[in-house]
Amino acid sequence: MFKQRKRLPDAERTLQTKVTKAATESQRIATDKIAWTKGKLEDLQRTGLKPRDWRIFPGHCAPVMLMEDGQRVVKPMRYQCGMAGKPASYDVKYPGTYNARRDNLEGFWKPCFSQTHGILLVEVFYENVSRAKFEGTLLETDERDESVVLEFRPSNGELMHVACSWSR
């Protein structure tokens, strides 16, 4: 917040003398980040729950049910599997590694697949996908792809059992 509160007036001073793309962008980013940070700080003060509190995002913890010593246990685990033996920077360098799809279970996920499984119980599951891939279209050279959020919700209103792999 401090960094952005310094950045914003610096950008505004620059814009008073000359409108530049860099200063305009810096002003926009600082304004957005200040608003985002204020929202997060307000969330820390509230006592009531909101629907977004139940969403699980990569890098955040979620309750996972697994077998341990022949017993079912629920443990909080980070949703974005940090594979054992990979450096901590791996998740940042390859941000999509939290999604173990069928097509890569015998590749990247082979050390965990059929070894360490868990179940995540959810009412709804969301997945971000490329709009171009979702629609089966090709992008023009200068076109930017956008993300589409797909929602998967059981029609019977019951919980979904989402299989997950985990690593020590």
35: pLDDT strictly greater than 70: yes
For residues 82-104, give the mean pLDDT.
70
Whether residues 44 and 56 share a domain: the answer is no
0.75 exceeded by pTM: no
The answer to which of 3-17, 102-116, 121-135 has the lowest mean pLDDT is: 102-116
Whether residues 102 and 139 share a domain: the answer is yes
Whether residues 84 and 98 share a domain: the answer is yes
Q: What is the pLDDT of residue 127?
A: 79
Stronger pLDDT, 18 or 108, i.e. the higher one = 18
Stronger pLDDT, 143 or 24, i.e. the higher one = 24
State which residues form the domain around 22: 2-48
Whether residues 69 and 147 share a domain: the answer is yes
Whether residues 82 and 96 share a domain: the answer is yes
Share of residues in the chain with pLDDT > 70 (%):
87
Whether residues 40 and 70 share a domain: the answer is no
Whether residues 66 and 10 share a domain: the answer is no
98: pLDDT strictly greater than 70: no
Mean pLDDT over all residues of the chain? 82
22: pLDDT strictly greater than 80: yes
Whether residues 44 and 127 share a domain: the answer is no
| Segment 36-90, tens digit of pLDDT | 999 989 988 998 888 777 777 777 778 888 888 999 888 888 777 667 777 778 7
Whether residues 36 and 75 share a domain: the answer is no
For residues 138-152, give the mean pLDDT.
80
Whether residues 24 and 71 share a domain: the answer is no
Residue 24's pLDDT band, with cuts at 50, 70 and 90, is very high
Whether residues 44 and 72 share a domain: the answer is no
Q: What is the pLDDT of residue 23?
A: 95
Whether residues 70 and 130 share a domain: the answer is yes
User: Quick one: three-class SS letters along the chain?
Assistant: CHHHHHHHHHHHHHHHHCCCHHHHHHHHHHHHHHHHHHHHHHHHHCCCCCHHHHCCCCCCEEEEEEEECCEEEEEEEECCCCCCCCCCCHHHHCCCCCCCCHHHCCCCCCCCCCCCEEEEEECCEEEEEEHHHHHCCCCCCCCCCCEEEEEECCCCCCCEEEEEECCC
For residues 116-121, give the mean pLDDT.
74
If one counts the domains in the chain, the total is 2
